[in-house]
Amino acid sequence: MEKTLVILKPDAMERKIVGEIISMIEKKTYTISHMQIKELNDDDLSYHYAEHKDKPFFPSLASYMKRGPVVVMVVEGENAIKGFRKLTGATDPLDAENGSIRGRFALTKDENIIHASDSPESAEREINFFVHGKRQ
């Protein structure tokens, strides 16, 4: 059984669509084995988005992610990483399939509702950090 880390971003909380997104996850027969509501801080974001820290869009990304609480989940299932990325949809909602989470709910590329791990290595690192408080 594969695991992936999923974050429902502040706009999902603000728009009160967390339940609808969780329903989509469960209808695909994934199991949510961990869920918590969390406020992210600068340290969390610098670690999580380390590859983007020096890019010009990082300050606005950090501001967006600190705007309000997020829902952090560990989602499990067969081929959970690849399958969940498909369910999530393309980063730009204009490119996302209509039935995907971003296709249904995201309004802009910058505020795109959801994060999902992109590889087994990222999933392990992200789960260790967000769930167990461990840095690799």
Active site residue 115: yes
Which one of 34, 48, 115, 132 is the catalytic residue? 115
Cβ neighbours for 8, distance < 8 A, ≥ 6 positions apart: 18, 21, 70, 71, 73, 113, 114
**Residues tagged active-site:** 115
